[in-house]
């Protein structure tokens, strides 16, 4: 069983408009609504790939009820802590003219200490049955910046692999606890530990540093279509086929879900990279969240270009 942790779940609303300009009103041509947040997105992809997971985190209000019910309809197990307030609504507007996506993300409800304790209690209950834990995203108000680090320490005590995709100080602290797989999300951060994340050289430099500290896999995005993987066998640059890209909305979550599945199935190192990237490719092609099916991901494996970076 795989556990996903989403401290700040959201209701994702994707609107497609022909043209978007500030200061004007637009009518959507298409609306796509789905539960969101890193762990939740990963749970959806895992289900599509044939893997059961238990989604955990904090749910609140009308959007929280929507998230829970939608997960239930998808057949995904849940063990959320219900709190007061309202979960986020994240708005994504896709403009057909320029093929560009604009996003506005919400803040989230305040999560008090008793709810945090309850989540940790739930996690401790689930961990004896877990084979992997996947988490990430932003932290809602009230949750201390050391939240991910705390969870990693709990999971590592049970010798269970833990995957994290986050940013900022919360990620910095999480790395100190040495998770198994780290995805550095630099949509929300330009530097990590003072290193600018704009060039391949810098990505390699910082990945190497984190790897040397004891993280098995360090993944960073390089432009839109590629990821740099720092592994026990060196650096790899992997690229999806840059055709028919609709949205990068939950691409990182598809990547992480793919990593979990590849490692659960004990794929080889390069096959793991290829499988995770195939999940990304099948995710970015559609407005619907996640990937169409396991078959679609398997069929996309041949499209992925994996290249070893010699240094």
Interface segment toward another protein; rule CB under 8 A; list 75-83, 174-182, 208-216, 295-303: 75-83
Smallest separation, CB 125 to another protein (Å): 6
Q: Does 102 bind another protein (CB under 8 A)?
A: no
Nearest C-alpha neighbor of 142 from the set 121, 169, 101, 114: 114
Provide the sign of the torsion angle of the four alpha carbons 46, 253, 259, 173, taken in this order.
negative
Maximum Cα–Cα distance across the chain:
54
Smallest separation, CB 83 to another protein (Å): 7
Smallest separation, CB 214 to another protein (Å): 30
Complex with another protein: residue 16 or 122, whichever CB lies closer: 122
Q: Three-class SS string for 205-257?
A: HHHHHHHHHCCCEEEEEECCCEEEEEECCEEEEEECCCCCCCCCCCHHHHHHH
Q: Does 67 bind another protein (CB under 8 A)?
A: no
Q: Does 89 bind another protein (CB under 8 A)?
A: no
Binding residues for another protein restricted to 115-134, rule: CB under 8 A: 121-122, 125-126, 128-129
Q: Does 296 bind another protein (CB under 8 A)?
A: no
3-state secondary structure of 71: helix
DSSP state of 302: G
Nearest C-alpha neighbor of 219 from the set 202, 233, 209, 207: 207
Binding residues for another protein restricted to 148-177, rule: CB under 8 A: none
Smallest separation, CB 108 to another protein (Å): 17
**Count of C-beta atoms within a 10 Å radius of residue 141:** 12
Complex with another protein: residue 78 or 281, whichever CB lies closer: 78
Smallest separation, CB 39 to another protein (Å): 15
- H or E stretch at 269: helix 269-284
Query: Which residue from 20, 70, 77, 292 is in contact with another protein, where contact means CB under 8 A?
Result: 77
Q: Does 79 bind another protein (CB under 8 A)?
A: yes
- Where are any strands of DSSP class E within 147-192? 162-166, 181-184, 191-192
Q: Does 50 bind another protein (CB under 8 A)?
A: no
Q: Does 76 bind another protein (CB under 8 A)?
A: yes
Smallest separation, CB 124 to another protein (Å): 9
Smallest separation, CB 145 to another protein (Å): 26
DSSP track, 36-55: ESHHHHHHHHHHHTT--EEE
> Which residues fall within 8 angstroms of residue 268, CB to CB, at 6 or more apart?
none
Q: Does 75 bind another protein (CB under 8 A)?
A: yes
The site for another protein (CB under 8 A) is made up of 54, 68, 71-72, 75-80, 82-83, 121-122, 125-126, 128-129
């Amino acid at each position: 069983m795989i556990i996903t942790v989403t401290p700040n779940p959201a209701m994702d609303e994707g609107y497609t408009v022909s043209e978007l300009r500030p200061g004007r009103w637009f009518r959507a041509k298409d609306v796509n609504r789905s539960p969101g947040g890193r762990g939740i997105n990963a749970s959806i992809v895992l289900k599509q790939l044939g893997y059961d997971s238990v989604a955990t985190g904090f749910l609140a209000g009308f959007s929280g009820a929507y998230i829970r019910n939608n997960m239930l309809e998808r057949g995904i197990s849940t063990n959320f802590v219900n709190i007061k307030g309202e979960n986020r609504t994240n708005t994504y507007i896709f403009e057909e003219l320029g093929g560009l996506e604009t996003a506005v993300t919400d803040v989230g409800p305040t999560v008090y200490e008793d709810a945090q304790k309850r989540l940790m209690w739930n996690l401790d209950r689930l961990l004896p049955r877990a084979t992997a834990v996947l988490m990430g995203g932003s932290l809602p108000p009230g949750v201390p910046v050391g939240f991910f680090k705390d969870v990693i320490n709990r999971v590592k005590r049970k010798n269970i692999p833990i995957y994290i995709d986050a940013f900022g100080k919360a990620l910095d602290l999480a790395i100190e606890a040495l998770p198994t797989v780290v995805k550095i999300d630099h949509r929300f951060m330009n530097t990590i530990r003072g290193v600018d994340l704009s060039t391949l050289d810098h990505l390699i430099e910082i990945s190497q540093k984190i790897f040397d500290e004891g993280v098995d896999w360090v993944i960073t995005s390089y432009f839109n279509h590629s990821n740099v993987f720092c592994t026990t066998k060196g650096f790899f640059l992997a690229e999806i086929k840059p055709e028919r890209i609709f949205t990068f909305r939950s691409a990182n979550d598809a990547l992480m879900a793919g990593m979990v599945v590849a490692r659960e199935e004990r794929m080889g190192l390069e096959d793991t990279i290829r499988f995770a990237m195939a999940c990304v490719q099948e995710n970015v092609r559609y407005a619907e969240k996640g990937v169409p099916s396991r078959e679609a991901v398997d069929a996309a494996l041949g499209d992925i270009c994996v290249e070893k970076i010699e240094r």
